Amino acid sequence: MQARSLSPKTQKAYRQDLQHFLRWIDRAWATVTPHQVAQFKAHLLRVEDGKQVLSNATVRRILGTLKAFYGWLWRCGYVDRDPTLEVQLPNLVEPEAGNLSDEQVERILAAAAETRLRERNLALIAVLQHGIRAEAATLLNIEDFDGVRLHVHQDKADSKGVVPLDEDGQRKIEAYLAWRKGQGEVLQPERPLFVSHSRRNAGARIGYDTIDKLVTQLRQQTGIPFHAHQFRHTYATNLVLDGMNPYHVMTLTRHKSVQSFRRYTKAADQKAAEAAFYETKRRKHNPSSGAGH
């Protein structure tokens, strides 16, 4: 975990994934064979009462974690072979982007404006709206906001980067910091950008649970069944739809895999394909309207 510089949330997920294997196997790591890993995969894909116990996505994640761990064991010399190399991960249907509509975003923002900690919650949502993961948002410090952009130093898979903010996002963060200052707080650069304002934890850095509670509250107020990560989906999808180069969008979202980013370009590809279809039909029925006429 230390070698990978993983976030606490990712470390917890990795431990849970590896526990599936540890509960199933009764041999030392170095003595596990490829056949046993294949048997473990079959165990994960087992069917009980006519229904697959674990989804393909869950099985793929557990096996992926096991592969990553064995790869590290082999590279560091703890084992002389990697028994997971020949085991293939289950195929998944290409995921769709869970983006929110403009109307849904407006309703969510209107509800956030009615919450008790209006300034903080609006600033927090503004950060999420710029594609920053919830966990990374909680780790931001005041010094990471330079007035026009956010500097992300800690995120999933060590995906650091700089995220420019639109004017609305800048104003909301500035308003929140001004509000804190008006409450008598001395804003030091190393202080958390988002802090708790509860009696018990006043001034302490918020955790993921704070964002989760806020989203739950907003879901109840609006009736929109959304989750925090959908702001990231919406950010990436809208930028691609607006015509921004997907490579530049990937730079802003700090995606390392083109495959995982593919979900955000599908909507733009569909839109372009439809436009090309109608343009082709138009030219067929109106030949004289082609290029040069």
Output the CATH code of domain 102-246: 1.10.443.10
Indicate the SS3 state at residue 47. strand
Whole-prediction pTM value?
A: 0.66
Residue 112 CA to chain centroid, in angstroms? 21
CA distance 157 to 112: 30
pLDDT in tens, the chain (293 residues): 777 777 777 888 899 999 999 999 999 999 999 999 999 999 999 999 899 999 888 999 999 999 999 999 999 999 999 999 988 888 766 555 578 899 999 999 999 999 999 999 999 999 999 999 899 999 999 999 999 999 988 766 567 789 999 999 999 999 999 999 999 999 999 999 999 998 888 889 999 999 999 999 999 999 999 999 899 989 988 888 888 888 888 888 887 777 667 777 777 777 778 878 888 888 877 766 555 54
Residue 217: the pLDDT is 96
Q: Could you tell me if 159 and 113 are in contact, meaning their C-beta atoms sit under 8 angstroms apart?
A: no
- Every domain of the chain with CATH number 1.10.443.10 lies at 102-246
Residue 153: the pLDDT is 84
Residue 158: the pLDDT is 62
Kindly provide the b/e burial profile for residues 56-92, where b requires at least 16 CB atoms within 10 angstroms of the residue's own CB: eeebbbbbebbbebbeebbeeeebeebbbeebeeeee
Residue 10: the pLDDT is 81
Residue 293: the pLDDT is 46
Q: Which residues on neighbouring strands pair with residue 47, listed in sequence order?
A: 52
CA distance 26 to 201: 44
Beta-carbon contacts of 258 under 8 Å, excluding residues fewer than 6 positions away, are: 250
